[in-house]
Amino acid sequence: MVDMAEIESLCNEMTTLEAADIEKVKEVSQSIQMMADLSKAHIFIDCLLADEKHAIVVAEAAPSTAPAIYQKKVVGNTAYETFEPAVLYCLRSGKTLTSNRAITQERKKVEQSVVPIRNEEKVIGVLIMEKDISDQLEKKEEIETLSKTTESLSGLLLSHSDRQPLVPELMEEALFFVGLDGELLYSNPAAINLLDELIGETCDYGENILDHLPILTEIVEQKEELLVTEMEAFDKSFKIKKIRLPLNDKYNGMFIILRDLTDLREKEKELIIKSVAIKEIHHRVKNNLQTVASLLRLQMRRGIPEESKIHFTESLNRILSIASVYEVILSNSSIDEVDIFDLAERIGDMLVYTGLSHTKMTINYSGDRLNMESDRAVSIALIINELIQNCVNHAFSERQRGHIDVIFEHRTDVMEVIVRDDGIGYKKENTSSLGLDIVRRMVEHDLSGVFQIEGMKKGTEAKLTFPRERRG
């Protein structure tokens, strides 16, 4: 809604307009909202400032039928001649100007039309219509830039001067520039060599490349400006790119670039074969370990001295812990990496829920996940086996219930694995066991880490700290 009082106040304070002139401006302002809606443009009324150097906006109307150009109110702002020369020219000369470019108060590019407002013969102000053309200009600039880039690229690649084009000479890919019908206009040294290798002949400029390489027929005939595809031909694998240039007076045609991928594809096949072989090895190692475990179980069923049972059980669990490493590898897509969290779950559940202990035990796993190569994973599997087995065998003697926590924590460049129970507690004067000796040796030598075990007010905490990345 146009504010008549504001128009009168601004005109009285900032301009040299007389009362009759101000009334005329107010009369014109009553129609500017309708004009804005009909033209889908911003409409303004500007009047010359008292110093006659710049103008001031005294009224405005934003269209309700189109997006607004201005986010803030501009009434009362100065219209500087530098940014809006058409406004000042019309105020001074009384001449109408249409479709001029200007920069708004908010630094937007607009198309501006300006007509004078007269009181009898005197120019008292101007009526301005502005439309945002920022998007149009950006698109135009993009087209111009693309055109210049294409011309520069074409000139760089196809310039026929005394010296050969530099860029194509250095390219490892075979580059052909052909006309719209397939006639050869240029080929770089790699392209010449490729033709000789594939068909034992050359293609002279002006000859149709399709007569020599019919495999390119479909590529040339397709209408896409940019095409990338792979093709098998001549017992080789090729990646083919086609770039069609926009039609112009200087260069008409398309670039066809061939890259020989045969060696790359052969290496990929070799890697696939190797990965299958590695998985097969892991599968056989796992089966062999399980076979050894089955033999131990069979021996235990056929009868062994009671004092030997615990040693057979511990050996059996160690073998099954190592087998778990290969089960984890085979259960995911990795060739030789193991999720240590998943590995600990398998080992812990096996020891806690399938053991022969009369104590009802529970186990919980928490913390960060970490993938590790299989050889270090075997060491961690044995360590976790020994620590949980130690809890199962010694922590809950003469107790009905017990709980074990296995925690994984990242510490910048190191990993911590903590096995904690709520049992009777570890005492330093306890004699050393084979299990803890195995743990210490493996942590220090296989993982380059540190092992600590200590009793707490309630239970025992064993912690191993080792670098996440292999050392040495």
Judge if 457 and 324 occupy the same domain: yes
pLDDT of res. 341: 87
Q: Is residue 153 part of a domain?
A: no
* 222, pLDDT greater than 90: no
Q: Is residue 147 part of a domain?
A: no
Which of 260, 280, 305 terminates a domain? The answer is 260
Provide the token pair at 415.
Answer: 């990993």
pTM of the model: 0.43
* 334, pLDDT greater than 70: no
Lowest mean pLDDT: which of 52-61, 154-163, 303-312, 439-448? 154-163
Q: What percent of the chain has pLDDT over 70?
A: 83
Q: Is residue 25 part of a domain?
A: yes
Judge if 351 and 309 occupy the same domain: yes
Domain around 369: 266-467
Number of domains in the chain: 3
Cβ atoms of 165 and 156 within 8 Å: the answer is yes
As a three-state string, the secondary structure of the chain is CCCHHHHHHHHHHHCCCCHHHHHHHHHHHCCHHHHHHHHCCEEEEEEECCCCCCEEEEEEECCCCCCCCCCCCCCCCEECCCCCHHHHHHHHHCCCEEEEEEECCCCCEEEEEEEEEEECCEEEEEEEEEEECHHHHHHHHHHHHHHHHHHHHHHHHHCCCCCCCHHHHHCCCEEEEECCCCEEEEECHHHHHHHHHHHCCCCCCCCEHHHHCHHHHHHHHCCCCEEEEEEEECCEEEEEEEEECCCCCCCCCEEEEEEECHHHHHHHHHHHHHHHHHHHHHHHHHHHHHHHHHHHHHHHHCCCCHHHHHHHHHHHHHHHHHHHHHHHHHHCCCCCEEEHHHHHHHHHHHHHHCCCCCCEEEEEEEECCCEEEHHHHHHHHHHHHHHHHHHHHHHCCCCCEEEEEEEEEEECCEEEEEEEECCCCCCCCCCCCHHHHHHHHHHHHHCCCEEEEEEECCEEEEEEEEECCCCC
pLDDT of res. 162: 45
pLDDT of res. 226: 84
pLDDT of res. 465: 92
What are the pLDDT digits (tens) for 72-128?
A: 888 998 888 877 888 888 999 999 888 777 666 556 777 888 999 999 889 999 999
A 10 A CB-CB count for 76 gives 13
pLDDT of res. 265: 83
Judge if 401 and 279 occupy the same domain: yes
Judge if 273 and 405 occupy the same domain: yes
Judge if 194 and 225 occupy the same domain: yes
Judge if 57 and 178 occupy the same domain: no
Judge if 416 and 357 occupy the same domain: yes
Cβ atoms of 100 and 86 within 8 Å: the answer is yes
Judge if 277 and 235 occupy the same domain: no
Q: Is residue 405 part of a domain?
A: yes
Q: Is residue 146 part of a domain?
A: no
Confidence band (pLDDT; 50, 70, 90) for 194?
confident
Q: Is residue 145 part of a domain?
A: no
Q: Residue holding tokens 């007389």? A: 18
Q: What percent of the chain has pLDDT over 90?
A: 16
Which of 260, 281, 312 terminates a domain? The answer is 260
Q: Is residue 165 part of a domain?
A: no
What are the pLDDT digits (tens) for 119-148?
A: 988 999 999 988 877 666 556 555 555 555
Pairing status of strand 401-411 against strand 360-367: parallel
Residue 256, strand partner residues? 176, 242
Judge if 272 and 207 occupy the same domain: no
Provide the token pair at 420.
Answer: 């904690």
pLDDT of res. 356: 61
What are the pLDDT digits (tens) for 408-425?
A: 988 778 889 999 998 888
Most confident of 76-85, 165-174, 356-365, 458-467: 458-467
* 24, pLDDT greater than 70: yes
Amino acid making up residue 132: D
Q: What is the CA radius of gyration of the chain?
A: 42
pLDDT of res. 365: 92
Judge if 270 and 174 occupy the same domain: no
Q: Is residue 291 part of a domain?
A: yes
Provide the token pair at 214.
Answer: 């019919």
What are the pLDDT digits (tens) for 266-311?
A: 888 777 767 666 666 667 777 777 788 787 778 777 777 777 777 7
Judge if 343 and 425 occupy the same domain: yes
Which of 81, 112, 136 terminates a domain? The answer is 136
What is the CATH number for 107?
3.30.450.280
What are the pLDDT digits (tens) for 175-185?
A: 888 888 888 88
What is the CATH number for 184?
3.30.450.20
Alpha carbon distances (Å) from 171 to 87, 157, 229, 259, 333: 56, 11, 19, 10, 37
pLDDT of res. 160: 47
What is the CATH number for 371?
3.30.565.10
> Which long-range contacts link 344-347 to residues 24+ away (Cβ below 8 Å)?
344/384, 344/406, 344/408, 344/417, 347/320, 347/321, 347/381, 347/384, 347/385, 347/388
pLDDT of res. 287: 76
Judge if 70 and 33 occupy the same domain: yes
What are the pLDDT digits (tens) for 372-391?
A: 887 788 888 888 888 888 88
